[in-house]
Structure 1
Amino acid sequence: MKKILALVFLITSMGYSQILEPVKWSTSVKKVSNLEYDVIIDATIKPNYHLYSLKVPEGGPLPTVFIFEENKDYELVGSMTEDKGHTAFDPVFELNIKYFENSAIFKQRIKLKNKKATTITGEIEFMTCNDASCVPGYDDFEIAI
């Protein structure tokens, strides 16, 4: 029953997703070596909202997902990493869930296949919740290297 209520809660809150923008995204790049860079994606989260981790338990909220568009000029090295965040019991989902408040930093290392300038593009899918509603979100990113 509680999972049905959580689903109704999420569906009801989806109508607000175009009005509310609880997360603002920014990007930067840090050179690590001659051909390797860290792509840094920073989330600024409005007060009283939580942004969820890259990994959440089954039956929980939607995780934060980064989708890098394929490009012949670079390759991803390893997996996306994230800040430490907080893990707490969520009464709506009845699970311990990792989330972020105020801000979160995500990093993905990339390796260029040549010294040619390139652009890294992709999408971010995420969910934020407060005590009253959940808001699914979507954003694009583009980073020149």
Structure 2
Amino acid sequence: MKKILVLVFLITSIGHSQILDPVKWSTSIKKVSNLEYDLIISAEIEPNYHLYSLKVPKGGPLPTVFIFEDSEDYELVGNMIEDKGHTAFDSIFELNIKYFENSANFKQRIKLKTKKVKVAGEIEFMTCNDASCVPGYDDFEITIQ
């Protein structure tokens, strides 16, 4: 009987548990010239969480990574640029680490090779609060006509 009660508790706990999703992503574009656009990928971060930079020291948390699908319709120009953010000592990793609170913007310039372009990709990231860290994954798609 005790095993059945434990099993019932576990099943109901799993059914009622929340999936943590402390970052919401959105996209926009800014025309720079006839052939160049800035893709802006923005993160809205829940209070008490922070999102890590594109570059973190070895031995630190997972960085934010943008993976663009290969396409003959455009080319990436330069590297992804991120907001200033905050750099602080993290006692868990024992490193100075750059991170973002509340929001962050990431910008990638592209050069069009055709008139209509679909830019798609993936975002891999990690967010943490004082109690835990959550790895995250999301897709993005931006169409330029």
Normalized against structure 1, the TM-score is what?
A: 0.86
Q: Please state whether the residue corresponding to 2:142 is helix, strand or coil.
A: strand
Partners of 2:48 and 2:90 in 1: CA distance: 14
Partners of 2:83 and 2:117 in 1: CA distance: 27
Q: Which residue of 2 aligns with 1:108?
A: 108
Amino acid at match of 2:142: I
- The answer to whether 1:31 aligns with 2:31 is yes
- The answer to whether 1:135 aligns with 2:134 is yes
Partners of 2:57 and 2:39 in 1: CA distance: 26
Q: Please state whether the residue corresponding to 2:43 is helix, strand or coil.
A: strand
Q: Deviations over 1:33-62 (max 9, x none)?
A: 000000000000000001000000000000
Q: Deviations over 1:91-144 (max 9, x none)?
A: 000000000000000000000013x21110000000000000000000000000
Q: Which residue of 1 aligns with 2:118?
A: 119
Identity of matched residues, % = 83
Q: Please state whether the residue corresponding to 1:25 is helix, strand or coil.
A: strand
Partners of 1:33 and 1:125 in 2: CA distance: 30
Structure number with greater Rg is 2
Partners of 1:113 and 1:120 in 2: CA distance: 12
Q: Which residue of 2 aligns with 1:57?
A: 57
Larger RCO: 1 or 2 (CA < 8 Å, sep 6+): 1
Gaps of 5+ in 1: 1-17
Counting matched residue pairs gives 127
Q: Which runs of 4+ in 1 moved over 4 A?
A: none
CA RMSD after TM alignment: 0.8
Q: Please state whether the residue corresponding to 2:76 is helix, strand or coil.
A: strand
